[in-house]
Structure 1
Amino acid sequence: RTEIYPAQTLGIIGNENAVIYVLPNVGSYVGGDVLAGILVSGMYEDEDLSILVDVGTNAEIVLGNRHWLMVAAGAAGPALEGGVVKCGMRAADGSIEKVRIDRKTLRASCTTIGDGPPQGICGSGLVDLMAELFLCGVIDERGKIVSNASSVVELDGVKAYRLASGDETGTGRDIIISELDINNLLRTKGAMYTALTVITRKAGVSFKDLKHFYVAGTFGAYMDPKMAVTIGMVPDIPIRTYESLKNSAGTGACISLLSNRKRHELDDIRRKITYLELNVDGDFMNLLTASMFLPHTDTKQFPSVLRQRPSEGKR
């Protein structure tokens, strides 16, 4: 339940009458920020079926409607926060958020947060980049670089793609993505899609049943859902299904402070939730292995991506 503490007992200086509301947890890796996201989305009041994904250190997933809610968490966040990619960084000024690759020259054009010189690449930029590299035929289904384009370089025996040269960046260093980085991203996107697959199967529903797919957090604020579908990170459903909630944790906290009724509803939401442990699912590892290809080993799950891919002779 929602806990209430006098602010001064927690060492927070303020009005002596100020109180701190701590939103309830759901499980080991699912905290009050996820409940705040459920509150903001309104999925707990909706007859239609929805999914909410909050990508941070982990990827927390909520599936359900007004009658029931199921929650799971998976380790799909670190690569998208730049933690395991050499030129990765969090979404901040100077981070590349959008990437497009010229189909003839195979050179990248980048858009940064704040429109300044690029300093690194954030999660949404990484998703864009992988999708564009795949669609252009620079990388194959395994994430291996198969092009001899001028933007392809080799560093310490490992192939890499150069997004921006040092004279274009804010750091004076090239911004690149190597095959090792791509492999880490494949694991990340595979973990995300596998978690989504497991939770829907456990609930006895399919992706086609979803009327809303909410994406929360900083990643959700910048993510292009079409690109996320292209790499097989999220299901191939109508793009209009996807909706960004941006900073749903902050918005939910504000709503909780401003409305006693909404704050009390959080406890009702918590009671509706069933927590699912993904790692005890017997099919998890097999599903994960199948998901670590672009977009997936079962390409029939991603028909829109197949229509965009170049033929072998055009790569």
Structure 2
Amino acid sequence: METVAIVGVGLIGGSFALALRQAGFGGRIIGVSSERTIAQALKYQIIDEGLPLEQACRQADLIYLAGPIHSILETIPKLDACTREGALITDAGSTKREIAAAGAKLRGAQFLGGHPMAGKESRGVQAAEGQLFSGRPYLLTPAAEGDLETPAAREFLGWIRDIGAVPRVLSPAQHDRIVAHSSHLPQLLSTTLSGTLGRHSESELIAAAAGPGLVDSTRLALSGWDIWHDILETNRPSILEALDLFIADAQALRARYAGAELEADFAQGKEFALRLRNTR
């Protein structure tokens, strides 16, 4: 792999470029983004040059789609006309079924869906950091079993490990079902909690009296609707399923609380919280 084109040089795309450099990648990194973003990425030495999509993709061995989901879906059909033979196209989108279906229609290059489980509240290329993926799961969603065995895919998998991420393989449908519970549900719960307290008649006193627990619980609420709109729109069935599960459990917990029978709930909650931390 000698040339990488990153389409969407924001937090994730910029961090991927920095992570590659820190892992020893000595090739060329081309950015495809707005003029303002390209100027920033060049200033911070995140990319080597900025080019239009077609010019960048004609030169790239790896095309990394790191924009919003709808942007990825709009870009994929354009790639058949400008992708070199043997190149690998991958993405960093937070939902996979629609993206995988679009990628399956490509004929000129291999498509391999991906989703790094990394991020932070700050956005834009100025927030990029090379260690963003370190120790984090990197979900891969091959359309077929042999998709991870091509030379391009094996090399990409090697770079994922080199940047410190932990590859995990799921089908596109399984991915969307799992992340609806592991990522999308926590986001909605944090947003709802923050909104509920913000609408409370004594919200100012609640905020002034809060400790780190509430700060931690509302951290995800700092994420913007512009990021989450595409995610929620393209994973609606799985997210509704996750919400229904939580609502049913919350209603059952309320009934148990009336009878002061929450010891088992605390034990079960603690058990999963410990398991979660032990997988990091």
Task: Give the TM-score range, shorter chain.
Answer: under 0.3
More helix by share: 2
More strand by share: 1
For normalisation by structure 1, the TM-score amounts to 0.23
For normalisation by structure 2, the TM-score amounts to 0.24
Higher relative contact order (CA 8 A, sep 6+): 1
